[in-house]
Amino acid sequence: MMAFARSLADWIWLVPVMPLFAVVVTGARVLLGRAHGDAAEPLTARLTSLAAFGGLALMLAIDALALVHGAPGHRRLGHWFGNGNWEATFSFMLDPLSLTLGTLTALIGWLVVRFSANYLHREAGFHRFFIALGFFLSGIQFVLLAGNGLLAFVGWEMCGISSFLLIGYAWHRPVATGNALFAFVTNRAGDAGFLLALGLAAAWLGGFEWTALSRAKEISVVNDRLLVIGFVIAALAKSAQLPFTAWITRALEGPTPSSAIFYGAVMVHAGVYLLLRLEPLLVQVPDVMFGLVVAGLLTAAYAWLCGLVQTDVKSALIFGVVFQVALMFVAIGLGWTTLALVHLCLHAGWRIWQFLLAPSWLSITRERPPPPPAWLRNNQLLYTVALQRFWLDKLAQTLLVEPTQSFSRDVRGLEEHFIDRAIGQPGRGQALHHDRPLVRVDGLPGRLLASLSDSLQHIEYRLLLRGKGGTAEKLLQRAGAYLRTLEGLLEQPRYLMMAVMATFVVIL
């Protein structure tokens, strides 16, 4: 019996991989043009639903065995890559924390898949939706069940990508695509934190395994702090805590079931899970825990104020969600991790229901909620601040998204004006000299060859006739123009910022 239990736990990888399999099959059908019309829908929906249900059944079975024989704990299933100092593995963590959240997520995921099959019926993006949803179900299970940070990070990214795809579900609406981009870019700040922490963990703890975290006492507090801060930034961004909250309020453009599972019930709690997982590290650094309390309290105040003025149901609900998630951060900061875990589970269960029933708000509620206390009610300034959500989304747009867009524009410009021209394109050749129309070149290699032949000819020519000078002058002029462009670019604040950041990286 014990052997069976052990072997069952070794199949845990199926939980995240089955939805991925459904994604691959559906994706292949879409690519092969097999996913058209009403008849193609049931297969997509049933396959995803089956994958989600399979995951749930497996989780429940492992749960049952865990109740009888105790949780299987950390399971290493295979080697991924590594070097002498550290190793990345395919490992899963089957402790009570992961099992609880994994099971709850599997249940919610399965219900949402079932819900979506009807809700999205006959939508042009039906298969696209299920691909993104399956991808998310896989990613979130990697996050929750992974036995090491690297695998969790893979899941983390999968969640981010599927979130991006579903916010931009209505891709013909500029608001939706703009918001998808906004959420994607803001979340990358969190990823940077995650990556930084992973790198440090490899260096200082000798691996990415969660079990290695128990060795946290061995490293110095300074190192521990840096490591934890990376993870905390990741958690704050994913769970939409200050200063990253703005992205979640702009993420409500997708279909209702995706809003429900991503931002109402499951993904928004991923940051809380990460911190719960890192508890052994966290307790080493009380100042970071204090920081969590502060961030949580500020977010709670922010979400509470903004929630009061919301006029559409989804926005009103999302601020309610952010508020309660903020309380979980406070609880973790105070060291009450069990409370945070219980709160997380119960909150997810309630919100999925409340979000899926958002279209029923007309028949569910009868009267306007009571107004806030009088001192607040009549404060025009605070009202404006709450209505504009503390201008956080505008700030994030100005500080994060727009520099990113300008940067990509510059890279594109670089490619168009320098790299493309340098490489050259076939059939685009142009005559270098009017008097020699047959010599047609494009790109750097072409020009090199042409100029080689040119200079050979030039020498020959100079030997025969004395030509006029001035090539050096032209070259110098051109170099001057390039330098001016470079100088103009460097004056731009984003490059200044990059230079500063590069300096920091070198110092660290």
Partner 1 sequence: MSGQRDLPIRERLASWVDHLAHVLPAQAPIRDFVHHNTLHGFQHLPFDEALAAAHRLTGAHTYWPEGRFRACFDHGRVTRADLSAALDDAGVADLESTIVRGLTRRDVLLAALLAGEEVAGEQRIAWLRREGRLDDDRLFRHCESAVASLPVADEPGAWEGLCAEVGETRTWRAVLAEVSGEDVLERIRSILQRHLAAHLDLGVAAWRNPAREKGFFAAWRASAGFDLAWELDELPNVRDEILHLPDDPLDVLLDELPRLLPDETRWHGYLERLSLELPGWSGMFLWRDRNPAHGDGTPVAMLDYLTVRVLLERLLTEDLVRRLVGWPMGVAELPAHFMARPDELLVRRAAREVHLPEDLLGQAASLVEQARVGHVDDSAWQALAERLRPALRRVQANGAAWRLLALARQLGLTPDDVDALGAQGVDDLLACSASLNSLQRGQVWLLAYEGHYREQLFSALAANHPRRLSPAGPSAQVVMCMDDREEGTRRHLEEVAPDVETFGAAGFFGVPMYWQGLDDAGRTALCPVVVQPQHLIRELPAHGAEGLAGRHAARRALRLRWRERFYQATRRRALGGPLLAAAGSLPALAALTAATLVPGWFAETRQRWRERFEGRVPTRLALTAERADPATPEQPRSGWSDEEQVDRVAAFLRMIGLTRDVAPLVVIFGHGSSSQNNPHLSAYDCGACSGRHGGPNARVFAALANRPEVRAGLARHGLQVGDGSWFVAAEHNTCDDTVAWYDLEAVPTRFQAGLDRLLAQVGEACRAHAAERCRRLASAPPRPTPWQARRHMLGRANDISQARPELGHATNAAAFIGRRQMSRGLFLDRRVFLISYDPAGDDAQGRIVESILLAAGPVGAGIALEYYFSSVDNERFGCGSKVTHNLTGLFGVMEGADSDLRTGLPWQMVEIHEPMRLLVVVEQSTAVLTAILRRQPPLQELIDNAWITLAAKEPDSGAMARYCPRRGWLPWSGSAVLPQVARSADWFAGESEALAPAVILGGGE
Copy the structure tokens of residue 385.
Answer: 């601040």
CA dist 235 and 313 (Å) reads 26
Q: Which of 381, 465, 472, 508 binds partner 1 (CB under 8 A)?
A: 381
Residue number, 214 or 388, with CB nearest to partner 1: 388
Q: Which of 86, 90, 204, 304 binds partner 1 (CB under 8 A)?
A: 304
Copy the structure tokens of residue 113.
Answer: 């898949």
Please check whether residue 262 is in contact with residue 158, taking contact to mean a CB–CB distance below 8 angstroms.
Answer: no
Residue number, 334 or 385, with CB nearest to partner 1: 385
Closest to 400 measured CA to CA, from 249, 250, 189: 189
Q: Other C-beta atoms within 10 Å of 504: how many?
A: 9
CA dist 59 and 33 (Å) reads 34
Stretch that binds partner 1, among 224-232, 287-295, 342-350, 444-452 (CB under 8 A): 342-350
Residue 346 within binding range of partner 1, rule CB under 8 A: yes
Give exposure, 389-428, as e/b (b: 16+ Cβ within 10 Å): bbebbeebbeebbebbeeeeeeeeeeeeeeeeeeeeeeee
Q: Which of 9, 131, 165, 176 binds partner 1 (CB under 8 A)?
A: 176
DSSP one-letter string for 371-408: PPPHHHHT-HHHHHHHHTGGGHHHHHIIIIIHHHHHHH
Stretch that binds partner 1, among 9-17, 120-128, 281-289, 500-508 (CB under 8 A): 120-128
> Tokens 């599997």 — which residue?
106
Please check whether residue 253 is in contact with residue 74, taking contact to mean a CB–CB distance below 8 angstroms.
Answer: no
Q: Which of 319, 341, 442, 446 binds partner 1 (CB under 8 A)?
A: 319
Q: Of residues 133-172, which lie at the interface with partner 1 (CB under 8 A)?
A: 169-170
Least CB distance from residue 203 to partner 1, whole Å?
A: 39
Least CB distance from residue 333 to partner 1, whole Å?
A: 16
Stretch 61-100: interaction string toward partner 1, x if CB under 8 A: ----------------------------------------
Least CB distance from residue 244 to partner 1, whole Å?
A: 17
Residue 317 within binding range of partner 1, rule CB under 8 A: yes
Residue 103 within binding range of partner 1, rule CB under 8 A: no
Stretch that binds partner 1, among 277-285, 288-296, 373-381, 463-471 (CB under 8 A): 373-381
DSSP, collapsed to helix, strand or coil, labels residue 40 as: helix
Least CB distance from residue 222 to partner 1, whole Å?
A: 36
Residue 352 within binding range of partner 1, rule CB under 8 A: yes
Stretch 399-438: interaction string toward partner 1, x if CB under 8 A: -------x--x------x----------------------
Q: Of residues 205-244, which lie at the interface with partner 1 (CB under 8 A)?
A: none
Please check whether residue 58 is in contact with residue 145, taking contact to mean a CB–CB distance below 8 angstroms.
Answer: no
Q: Running DSSP on this structure, what letter comes out for residue 250? A: T
Least CB distance from residue 234 to partner 1, whole Å?
A: 24
Residue 316 within binding range of partner 1, rule CB under 8 A: yes
Residue 127 within binding range of partner 1, rule CB under 8 A: no
Residue 391 within binding range of partner 1, rule CB under 8 A: yes
Please check whether residue 465 is in contact with residue 447, taking contact to mean a CB–CB distance below 8 angstroms.
Answer: no
Residue 365 within binding range of partner 1, rule CB under 8 A: yes
Residue number, 120 or 198, with CB nearest to partner 1: 120
CA dist 59 and 72 (Å) reads 12
DSSP, collapsed to helix, strand or coil, labels residue 94 as: strand
Residue 338 within binding range of partner 1, rule CB under 8 A: no
CA dist 44 and 26 (Å) reads 6
DSSP, collapsed to helix, strand or coil, labels residue 337 as: helix
Number of residues that bind partner 1 (CB under 8 A): 95
Residue 333 within binding range of partner 1, rule CB under 8 A: no
Residue 107 within binding range of partner 1, rule CB under 8 A: yes
Cα within 13 Å of Cα(328), Cβ side? 30
Residue 50 within binding range of partner 1, rule CB under 8 A: no
Cβ-proximal residues to 22 (8 Å cutoff; 6+ apart), any chain: 47, 48, 50, 51, 130, 134
Stretch that binds partner 1, among 8-16, 291-299, 363-371, 443-451 (CB under 8 A): 363-371
